[in-house]
Amino acid sequence: AYTVDDDGNPLHSWRTQLLPYLEQHALYDQIRQEEPWDSANNFAYSSTPMPLFKSPRDPNSDPTLTSYVVVVGADTLFSGGAALGMHDVQDGMSGTILAIEIHNSDIAWAEPRDVLEEDLAFVSNGADPLTPNVVPQSGAVLMGDGSVLRFGPETTPEMWRAMLSHSGGEAVERP
């Protein structure tokens, strides 16, 4: 979910790579892609507020932090290895999670860091839905087909895990 240098060190987040497609050509063109996101030369861009990467429902008001992340894990769309093609998504794009909304993140929008699958805990808090602990109640979930969904209490931990997997062969009926 990030670009790397010749030694495999992370340089820039996937969010940075989206800038030209989000009417941010001028900012993208100023970035030194061969240097880390937080280098002295890239500091001005990486500290630029980017409201488009911030959920309007996120109580953390720091506009340099993101509310949108991908989940990195062995069988997610972002395994840290080679890029996946649509043919690799055996569970179907409509049944596979691409990105999730989180609140109170400490991740800078330009930072090549996201959420690790093993860091997700599936908990129930009274009437709140069962969701990964980083996804707020009714947090937006971007599916591989581009649809944006919100899941409620009927979404079990098993369903979350199945939707995070791209090739587990699980048949998931979306709530």
Bridge-based pairing state of the strands 71-72 and 115-116: parallel
> Has residue 169 got a pLDDT over 70?
yes
pLDDT tens-digit map of 1-14: 899 999 999 999 99
Q: Which of the given ranges, 30-34, 93-97, 113-117, 170-174, has the highest pLDDT on average?
A: 30-34
Shortest CA distance to 168 belongs to which of 95, 85, 116? 95
pLDDT tens-digit map of 75-104: 888 886 667 888 888 888 888 899 988 888
What pTM does this model have?
A: 0.85
